[in-house]
Structure 1
Amino acid sequence: MSNEQGFLRISIAATVVVAALGIFFGILSGSFSIAFDGVYSLADAAMTGLALWVSSLIVQSARNDAKSGRIRNRFTMGFWHLEPIVLLLNGCLLVTVAVYALINAIISIINGGHELHFGAAIVYSGATLVVCAIMAGIGAAVNRRLKSDFIALDIKAWIMSGGIAFALLVAFIIGLAVQPTSLVWIARYVDPVVLGLVCLVMIPIPITTIWKALSEILLIAPVDLQEHVDRVASDTVRRLGFLSYRAYVARVGRATEIELYFIVPEGLPPKRLEEWDALRDEIGAAIGDESVNRWLTIAFTADVEWAE
C-alpha cells in the first residue's frame, strides 16, 4: 500500500468480498437493506476499478520509457481531465443507488414491511462493520502521505458503508429484542425503515465530491490559486515595468494548469532568448509547486490580442 494503485487494488478486493457477502446474506435473511449494501458495494468496486485505471494512466504518462512516449504522442494534453470525470461518475452513481433504495424502502413501509431472519442479518452487519472500519483506518493512514482524491473518495465510501453496517446492526438487534414482546409488529418494519434512514443520510454525502469534480470539469478557477498567481504576476509587472498581464488558472484532478501572458511595452529593448527563459524560470519558481502535475505556460507579447 505504498502508493495509490496498491491501496486501490486492495480496496477493490475487499469491496468485492463485502458485496458478495451482502448479496448472499441479503437473500438468506430476506433483508432488502443488506442486499442494497451488497449492490452499493459492487457499484463502488466498479468505480474504484475505473479510478485505478485512470490513476495508472496518469502515473504511466509521467515516466520516461518507450511506452510512456507512445502514450504522450497520442494524448499530448495528458490524462488529468479523466480524474474529475471519474469522481463525478462515482458520486452520481452512489447518489442514484441511494435514491433508488430510498424509493423501495418507502414502498415497503407502505405495504406493511416484511419478515426478516435477524440472526443472519446480525452476523453480516457485524462482520461488515469490522471490515469497513479496518479499510477506512488504513486508507486514512495511507492518504495522510499521498493526499489522493481517489483514496479520499474511497475512504468516504468505506465510512458510508460502515455507517450502513452499524445502522443495520443496531436495527437488527432491536428487531430481535422486540420479538418476544407485545411490540413484535415493529420487527416487520425494521428493515425498510433503517434502509430509508440510511439512504437519507447517504444521499448528501457525495454532493461535495460531485460539486468539486464538476467545477474542475468546467474549469472554474480556484480562488486561492487565482489570488496567488495574480500576486506573482502583479509583482512581476510592477518590478519589470510591463503594462499588464492576463492569467488563466484551473485545477483538473491532481493537475494545476496556469497560463500567464505579460503585456510588454512596444519598443522594449531586445533581450536574448536565454534572458526570457531565465525570467520564466524566476516566475515559475515564485508560483511554486513545480512537478509533473503542473502545466505552466508563460508568454510575453506587445499585442494584447494574443493574451485575450
Structure 2
Amino acid sequence: MVRKLNKDKKVLMISVYAAIAFSGAGIVLGTLFQSQMILFDGLYSLISVVLSLISLAAATFMSKNDSRHFPFGKDVIEPLVITFKYVIILILVIGSLMMAIVSIFQGGRDVAVGAALIYVAISTLACLIIYRYLNKHASESTTGFISAESNQWLMDTLVSSGVLIGFVIAAILQYISSMQALVPYIDPLMVVIVSLYFIKVPLVEIRHSMREVLVMTPDNELTRKVEDVIYKIELKYDMEETILRISKVGSTLSIEVDFIVKKTSKVQTISDQDYIREEISTKIQDIDHTKWLTVSFTNDRKWAI
C-alpha cells in the first residue's frame, strides 16, 4: 500500500509541474490576447496546481502508518480531499459562467484570434498527452487521487478542444464581412458553453465522494458482487437470516456480515465459523480493493441489528 502511494505521489508531481506551466502561459497569454476563455483555462490550471499539491500532501500523510491515532485507517481523507477539489472547481466554473454572461451583455471581447488559435492548438495537444499519461496510471492506482487528477486534465482537454473549435470559427468569421460583428461574442460564448457543460462533472464527483464520507453503501457493481457471495453462503449453510453492511471509503471496502444461526444451520463450532470466514475471503479476493471483513455469528437477532 505504501509503495503504491509513493508511486501515486510521483505521478501527481508530473501533474503539478504541467499545471504550473499551463497556468502561467494561460494567465499571461489570456491577458495579452484579451481572451476570457484562455484566461479561464489559465486560472483552471492555477487552481489545479493548488489542488494537486493538496492531493500530494494527502497521499504523503496517508502513506505514514499511525494505527494508534487512526485505528480504522486514514481512507476517509481521500474522499474528503476529492470533495474539496471538486467544490473549488465548481466555484470556478460558476464564477467564469457569470463573468462570461456579463461580457456578452457588454458587447463581447476583442481577441487576437490568430495568436490565440496557435496557443490553443498547442495547449489541446499537451493536455491530451498529460490526460492519457494520468489515465494510464489511474487504472493501476489503489487510491482515487490519480483518477481525480485524470478527470481534471480530461476537463482541461475538452475545454481546450472546445476553445480551439471556437477560435477556428472566429478566424473564419473575420473574413466574412457580414459576420465580423459576431467575432467579439465568440470568446465569452465559448466560456458559457464550456461552463454549462462542465457543471455536471464536479456535481457528480462530489456526490460520489460524499457517499464515501457519509459511509454509505456503494452504488455500483461492488455491492452486487458481495451480496451474491454472502447470500449463496446463507443458503449453503442454512442460516436463518443474514444482515449485510457494505461501505467503501477511499480504497478500503468494509464488509460486515452477521449470520443469524438456527438449530439446523450447518455451523456449530468455532472451526465451522472460521471455515466460512475463509470461504468468504477467498470468494471476494478478486475484488480490487483493500478489504476490511468482519463476519459474526449469533443465535439472537438483536446482536446483529
Matched, 1:217 2:221: no
2:282 is aligned to 285
Aligned partner of 1:28 among 29, 32, 41: 32
Matched, 1:167 2:159: no
Displacement after TM superposition at 1:77 (Å): 1.3
2:241 is aligned to 244
* Structure 1 segments of 4+ aligned residues over 6 angstroms from their partners: 266-270
Distance 2:68 2:140 in 1: 31
Distance 1:108 1:239 in 2: 68
Specify whether residues 245 and 169 from structure 1 end up closer, same or farther in structure 2 by C-alpha distance, changes over 3 A only.
closer
| Alpha carbons 1:54, 1:79 under 8 Å: kept | no
Distance 2:144 2:154 in 1: 15
After superposition, the CA RMSD in angstroms is 2.8
| Alpha carbons 1:225, 1:249 under 8 Å: kept | no
Matched, 1:257 2:278: no
Displacement after TM superposition at 1:133 (Å): 1.2
1:190 is aligned to 186
2:304 is aligned to 307
Name the amino acid aligned to 2:146: I
How big is each residue's C-alpha offset from its partner over 1:66-112, in whole Å with a ceiling of 9 and x where there is no partner?
xx2xx111111111112222222222222221111111111111011
| Alpha carbons 1:25, 1:120 under 8 Å: kept | no
Matched, 1:152 2:147: yes
1:81 is aligned to 76
Within-5 A mapping of 1:27-106: 27-58=31-62, 60-61=63-64, 68=65, 71-106=66-101
Distance 1:290 1:157 in 2: 26
Distance 1:6 1:162 in 2: 22
Within-5 A mapping of 1:228-239: 228-239=225-236
Displacement after TM superposition at 1:15 (Å): 0.9
| Alpha carbons 2:19, 2:46 under 8 Å: kept | yes
Displacement after TM superposition at 1:45 (Å): 2.3
1:64 is aligned to none
Specify whether residues 23 and 209 from structure 1 end up closer, same or farther in structure 2 by C-alpha distance, changes over 3 A only.
same
Q: Which moved more, 1:107-116 or 1:120-129?
A: 120-129
| Alpha carbons 1:28, 1:120 under 8 Å: kept | no
Distance 1:134 1:106 in 2: 32
Displacement after TM superposition at 1:242 (Å): 3.3
| Alpha carbons 1:229, 1:247 under 8 Å: kept | no
Distance 1:93 1:87 in 2: 10
Displacement after TM superposition at 1:161 (Å): 1.1
Aligned partner of 2:110 among 115, 130, 135: 115
Distance 2:288 2:198 in 1: 36
Distance 1:193 1:294 in 2: 48
Name the amino acid aligned to 1:24: V
Distance 1:91 1:153 in 2: 9
Specify whether residues 228 and 197 from structure 1 end up closer, same or farther in structure 2 by C-alpha distance, changes over 3 A only.
closer
Specify whether residues 242 and 194 from structure 1 end up closer, same or farther in structure 2 by C-alpha distance, changes over 3 A only.
closer
Specify whether residues 189 and 256 from structure 1 end up closer, same or farther in structure 2 by C-alpha distance, changes over 3 A only.
same
Distance 1:84 1:209 in 2: 10
SS in 2 for 1:242: coil
How big is each residue's C-alpha offset from its partner over 1:148-173, in whole Å with a ceiling of 9 and x where there is no partner?
53322322221221222222233334
Specify whether residues 286 and 159 from structure 1 end up closer, same or farther in structure 2 by C-alpha distance, changes over 3 A only.
closer
Distance 2:129 2:222 in 1: 35
Displacement after TM superposition at 1:252 (Å): 1.6
SS in 2 for 1:230: helix
SS in 1 for 2:107: coil
How big is each residue's C-alpha offset from its partner over 1:247-283, in whole Å with a ceiling of 9 and x where there is no partner?
1101122211111112224799963x55543432223
- Normalised to the residue count of structure 2, the TM-score between the two structures is 0.86
